[in-house]
Amino acid sequence: MRKEERAALILQRLEQHYPTTPVPLDHSDPFTLLIAVLLSAQCTDKKVNEVTPALFAAGPTPQAMAALPEATILGHIRQLGLATTKARNVKRLAELLLERNNGEVPASFQALEALPGVGHKTASVVMAQAFGVPAFPVDTHIHRLAQRWGLSSGVSVMRTETDLKRLFPKHAWNKLHLQIIFYGREFCTARGCDGTICPLCRELYPKRRKPVAWIKA
């Protein structure tokens, strides 16, 4: 099966598995999505969703968040990894939104990536899910599955993103990146599948017998 054929089959199977793709991080607008994605670095979505209701009640807008003392923000997110750095970034990000964008989240990769704590993946999620701009955020699940499914070499996250964008139609990117994440969490987990166990790995590579070593992001 050629790479393009594998991509077409993956698209079909994932649509069957996950016809709807709710964003896993609870949010109400682009600002709360941006903060939630920032907080999710090295942390589970479930844990982020546990702490953000109180945080967003205290700071629902950039204006309100910027007015909070950093210690207050830290108190709300202390359970998360890298909490001290994240609290500092959240406050400064809110301040910069007021200074640069009149309190609005910019619909621009360049402007988003210029904010503290916002890398390319975070900016891609916000552009895709808040503004509907085609993007393909690559997290550890996508990076792992792209290698197991023979879609990318895994030499870097950016290479994985480039390879997936080339293989899949642009109109599918925003939904597909969530579908791959959902599948990676449910079936093709880091320890639960080695490239030979989950349904899609078996269908894509029915003759594969040896485990697939994958390069971590």
Please enumerate in sequence order all residues whose Cβ is within 8 A of that of 153, keeping only pairs 6 or more positions apart, or say none: 147, 159, 163, 215
Token digits of residue 206? 């029915």
CA-CA-CA-CA torsion for 193, 197, 203, 206, nearest 10 degrees?
120
Angstrom distance (rounded) from CA 111 to CA 67: 22
Q: Which of 139, 165, 175, 194 is catalytic?
A: 139
Could you confirm whether 139 is annotated as catalytic?
yes
CA atoms within 13 A on the CB side of 167: 24
For residue 93, give the H/E element and its range: helix 83-101
- The residues annotated with a catalytic role in the active site are 121, 139
